[in-house]
Amino acid sequence: NAGVTQTPKFQVLKTGQSMTLQCAQDMNHNSMYWYRQDPGMGLRLIYYSASEGTTDKGEVPNGYNVSRLNKREFSLRLESAAPSQTSVYFCASSTGTANTGELFFGEGSRLTVL
Amino acid sequence: SQKIEQNSEALNIQEGKTATLTCNYTNYSPAYLQWYRQDPGRGPVFLLLIRENEKEKRKERLKVTFDTTLKQSLFHITASQPADSATYLCALDGDNFNKFYFGSGTKLNVKP
């Protein structure tokens, strides 16, 4: 059982380049999330998807777009990367019900923008 | 503004003692609060969830309290071990039960 799988694990970009971070979960979860983690800042919510076909902004959505391709997959796109987007990105999923809120995280994607 | 505050200074304790970590929040009305453990280079791992109508929750050596009047949660690890050394994050639901916000975490160091 793979859980939450993120690709790529590492990426180096130049300013202005674009890229897509991929995330897939095999737990039949309804909700999926993208967070970024910077030193001393904790995890900040970029976008989330409560269910297939819906997406909503989190705390820091500027410079990012997302696609909930199907129930399993939730991708994060940087259209024109900036050095401020250097971070570790985590994808997570949960059942999305009111009674259980446990988030399952991937191992992270480490992005450096030069 | 909304804030979730955890002690940014590392907590250093001796093996066998009880570690107590604090999570304070402002301008949230969470239905529940969660605690996660994060090891270096890894994603966070869920530990415990406590609902707003619960005062205390236990799981093995872990105990969480939730005081909605003080807007505070305490996370205790009893009989701590060096293997408990990690960063511990609290999280709570914000606008709805699908949106989770995290504190910046507290690093715990348990010395043998």
pLDDT, tens only, A61-112: 999 999 998 999 999 999 999 999 999 999 999 987 655 678 999 999 999 9
At A83, phi and psi to the nearest 5? -55, -30
pLDDT-wise least confident of A6-15, A41-50, B89-98 = B89-98
Mean pLDDT of chain A: 92
- Find chain A residues with C-beta within 8 A of B89's C-beta: 42-43
Q: In chain B, what residues touch A98 (CB-CB under 8 Å)?
A: 31, 97
Contact (CB<8Å) A101/B102 = no
How far does the CA of residue A80 sit from the closest CA of chain B (Å)?
A: 26
What pLDDT, on the 0 to 100 scale, is given for residue A98? 59
- Nearest beta carbon to residue A42 from set B34, B41, B104: B104
The answer to whether residue B67 scores a pLDDT higher than 70 is yes
The mean predicted confidence, pLDDT, of chain B is: 93
Work out the percent of chain B whose per-residue pLDDT is above 90. Answer: 78
Of B42, B49, B105, the CB nearest to A101: B49
A39 CB-contact burial (10 Å; exposed 0-12 / middle 13-18 / buried 19+): exposed
Question: Residues A19-30: what's their mean pLDDT?
Answer: 95
Does residue B112 have a cis bond before it (omega within 30 degrees)? no
Question: What pLDDT does A42 receive?
Answer: 86
Instruction: Tell if the CB–CB gap between B44 and A103 is shorter than 8 Å.
Output: yes
How many CB atoms lie under 10 A from the CB of residue A19?
A: 16
Predicted pLDDT at B8: 82
| C-beta separation of A98 from A79 below 8 A | no
CB nearest B98 (choices: A40, A48, A107): A48
Decide: B23 and B7 in contact? Cβ < 8 Å.
no
Which pLDDT belongs to residue A40? 76
Confidence of residue B29 (pLDDT cuts 50, 70, 90): confident
* pLDDT value of position A97: 67
Q: How many CB atoms lie within 10 A of CB A22?
A: 15
Please list the residues that pair with A87 across neighbouring strands: A111
* Strand extents, DSSP E, A1-114: 4-7, 10-13, 19-25, 31-38, 42-49, 56-57, 64-68, 74-78, 87-94, 104-105, 109-113
Strands A109-113 and A87-94: antiparallel
Contact across the interface for B31 and A98, Cβ inside 8 Å: yes
Distance between first and last Cα of chain B: 41
CA-nearest residue of chain A to B44?
A: A105
Q: Is pLDDT at B70 greater than 80 in this prediction?
A: yes
Q: Which residue has the higher pLDDT, A36 or B68?
A: A36
Residue B68 has pLDDT above 60, yes or no: yes
